[in-house]
Amino acid sequence: MTLSASFQRLSFRSSRLLLPSLLALGLGASASAMAQGTAPVPVNVVNIAASGFLEVPQDWLSMTLNTTREGSDAGTVQNQLKQAIDAALTVARASAKPQQLEVRTGQFSLYPRYDNKGKINGWQGSTELVLEGRDFALISTTAGKIQTLTMSGTSFSLSRDARRKLESDVQAMAIERFKARADEVSKGFGFAGYSLREISVSSADQEARPFQPRAMAMEAKAAMSDAAVPVEAGKSTVNVTVSGSIQLK
């Protein structure tokens, strides 16, 4: 027997020995794949959604007043801004009431001005005061008394307590509508009832565009001493959607 014939016979025997092992390995992999894919396909499952919304008047007003100063010396400009905000705080704090009129300072900035050669030729700064709360009349009247700052803007929203209650009420409404919809669908298909599979709850807020009074010049503000700033609140809408799948049974 030649060396070549012996090698061929050895190769054939090795192939016959390897074949059962490879076959067993392939069957094992197939069985594993089948085991992983044995999850039953859901039947009699329906996806539904229901929404609820409520619209209520906004009960929180935020009013911002500010002023700017400029000059050649940074310290002088800063002192002028400090005097303006201190005078405004004195007037505002005299009328402050928790939740009705709350007072806080806003942005305070001081920055250099440059000429066309890139050199500092002066300083400019600004300061803000924010009046906020539920008593719109008190806030607007107090703003009219402040002479060292001018109006820069107003915004209306829901107070934290009002928003929490509104969201709770709307969510309960959406859930009840989802349950009624699920019951209607299950009976419509001839089933006695249903069970919940997956549920998702989402909410969205929408606020009416706030009234923005024009900023008044300092001279006009002085002429309208103690005059209330006109304001008018809008409405806020909270929308809650409940969506998911139910198993008919």
pLDDT reported for residue 171: 93
pLDDT in tens, the chain (249 residues): 444 444 444 444 444 444 444 334 444 444 444 455 566 777 899 999 999 999 999 999 999 999 999 999 999 999 999 999 999 999 999 999 999 999 999 999 999 999 898 999 999 999 999 999 999 999 999 999 999 999 999 999 999 989 889 999 999 999 999 999 999 999 999 999 999 999 999 988 766 544 444 434 334 444 445 566 667 778 888 899 999 999 999
Which residues, in sequence order, are CB contacts of 212 under 8 Å at separation 6+? 153, 154
The phi and psi torsions of 51 (rounded to 5 degrees) equal -130, 160
- Distance, in Å, from the CA atom of 54 to the CA atom of 105, rounded to the nearest integer, reads 34
Residue 126: closest CA among 82, 92, 89: 82
Instruction: Determine if the pTM surpasses 0.85.
Output: no
- Distance, in Å, from the CA atom of 157 to the CA atom of 234, rounded to the nearest integer, reads 8
E-strand ranges in 93-186 read 102-114, 120-133, 150-157
pLDDT reported for residue 105: 94
pLDDT reported for residue 228: 66
Which residue, chain included where needed, has tokens 């929404």?
A: 51
